[in-house]
């Protein structure tokens, strides 16, 4: 997969990740990308080294807080001692999501959003801000054009989509800020399944999630 990756998270996003200051939903997408992208793993390691070096130059009285503890699961993917590295499994689902959604994209439950579009919301820790979900778009279908009230990070798990910014394939990350408006169209042959984190839940998912939680009661 790694050879096909052409879209990486912004440096600023990786920097937040190396400092461990990302919202949980955002960290989930970045960790999943880092698990399959050695280039970004190297970049995060480089930032961490710089962070440690800077920290070492500070006088003790300047230190209001302990050094940032980097807890990104994907940073552990390089650790040969770790028995279960965070990898996108053969079933395409990032390892740490398997306990939430199961091991197979074809066997999990999906809620219809609109024509040719389904979603599966992923619960975050209580109090965590943001929104995390899987999104499945059938071949050739498009999402309604939407802009973003905040940041949005999308990692492709299967198939691809194309929008004004290019074509995004498995392992690629679309790292969008609030100014971007786009209309993604899924690959006409394979469709697209992706993991999407956003600062605020898009309005098109409100009704679906509401129906699901009503059904769960």
- Tracing tokens 């053969």 back to the chain, one arrives at 90
- Of 5 and 25, nearer to Zn ion (C-beta) is 5
How near is the Cβ of 32 to Zn ion at its closest, in Å?
11
Site size toward Zn ion (CB under 5 A) is: 4
Interface map 144-183 toward Zn ion (x if CB under 5 A): ----------------------------------------
- Of 39 and 213, nearer to Zn ion (C-beta) is 39
Distance CA 80, CA 159 (A): 30
- Of 172 and 199, nearer to Zn ion (C-beta) is 172
Q: How far is residue 94 from each of residues 28, 53, 103, measured CA to CA in Å?
A: 9, 32, 9
CB 192 within 8 A of CB 160: yes
How near is the Cβ of 40 to Zn ion at its closest, in Å?
3
- Binders of Zn ion in range 10-39 (CB under 5 A): 37, 39
Distance CA 19, CA 50 (A): 11
For 152, phi then psi, to 5°, come to -145, 130
The span of 3-11, 46-54, 77-85, 205-213 binding Zn ion (CB under 5 A) equals 3-11
**Other C-beta atoms within 10 Å of 152: how many?**
26
CB 132 within 8 A of CB 196: yes
- Binders of Zn ion in range 101-130 (CB under 5 A): none
- Binders of Zn ion in range 40-59 (CB under 5 A): 40
- Of 30 and 97, nearer to Zn ion (C-beta) is 30
How near is the Cβ of 127 to Zn ion at its closest, in Å?
29
Alpha helices in the chain (DSSP H): 11-19, 24-36, 38-57, 98-101, 203-216
- Tracing tokens 């302990």 back to the chain, one arrives at 66
- Of 70 and 117, nearer to Zn ion (C-beta) is 70
How near is the Cβ of 11 to Zn ion at its closest, in Å?
11
**Contact partners, residue 61, CB within 8 Å, separation at least 6:** none
Residue numbers at the binding site for Zn ion (CB under 5 A): 8, 37, 39-40
């Amino acid at each position: 997969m790694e050879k096909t990756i052409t879209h990486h998270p912004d440096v600023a996003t990786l920097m937040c990740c190396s400092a461990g200051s990302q919202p949980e939903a955002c960290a989930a997408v970045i960790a999943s990308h880092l698990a399959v992208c050695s280039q970004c793993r190297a970049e995060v390691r480089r930032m961490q080294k710089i962070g440690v070096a800077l920290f070492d130059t500070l006088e003790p009285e300047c230190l209001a807080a302990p050094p940032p503890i980097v807890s990104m699961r994907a940073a552990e993917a390089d650790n040969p001692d770790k028995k279960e590295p965070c990898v996108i499994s053969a079933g395409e689902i990032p390892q740490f999501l398997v306990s939430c959604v199961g091991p197979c994209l074809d066997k999990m439950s999906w809620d219809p959003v609109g024509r040719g579009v389904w979603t599966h919301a992923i619960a975050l820790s209580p109090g965590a801000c943001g929104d995390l979900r899987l999104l499945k778009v059938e071949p050739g279908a498009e999402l309604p054009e939407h802009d973003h009230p905040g940041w949005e990070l999308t990692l492709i798990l299967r198939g691809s989509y194309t929008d004004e910014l290019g074509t995004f394939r498995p392992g690629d990350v679309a790292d969008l800020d609030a100014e971007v408006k786009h209309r993604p169209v899924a690959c006409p042959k394979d469709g697209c399944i992706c993991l999407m984190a956003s600062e605020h839940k898009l309005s098109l998912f409100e009704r679906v999630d509401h129906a699901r939680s009503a059904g769960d009661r």
